[in-house]
Amino acid sequence: MSTEDSWATEVESDNSVVVYRTAFLHEADMVSEAMSRAQIPHSRRVETSGGLSVAMSVNPGPGMLPGNFFAIAVPNSRAGQAAHFVAKLPVSQEIRSTHQMPSVKEMFRGWTWVFVLAILLVLILGVVRMYRL
């Protein structure tokens, strides 16, 4: 059994805590690689805006939907050590505490309603043309 396999078992068996969360794949890779070199057990996860958290695939896509994050989880017993370790790394240090999508209000303002009204207008015109002889 490799070191990373034993880490995955330790992370999954203990209550795991997310110590780092980012929207950037390269930052998640940097933190994971640094934790591997420091021999801190961890697992890489993808969290969605709906609250779903799954293991990160070996080759994840670099772009994600708004509100989805890459996360690094460690066993609860190592959370303090890992948090101090991550704080020293040259990556963004903002940990989002909620699963809410950022700036949801801005997404539904302005142009979104224009597009919705345009689609409805096209549908109504299509129905009118269909019944017109």
Q: What is the mean pLDDT of residues 104-124?
A: 79
Q: Is it the case that residue 120 has pLDDT exceeding 90?
A: yes
What confidence score (pLDDT) does residue 115 get? 87
Sheet strand arrangement including 69-75: 16-22, 69-75, 43-47, 53-55
pTM score of the predicted model: 0.59
Q: In this predicted model, what pLDDT tens digit does every residue of 57-75 receive, in sequence order?
A: 666 666 666 667 888 889 9
Q: Is it the case that residue 14 has pLDDT exceeding 60?
A: no
Supply 67's token pair. Answer: 């509100």
DSSP code per residue over 72-101: EEEEGGGHHHHHHHHHTSSS------S-PP
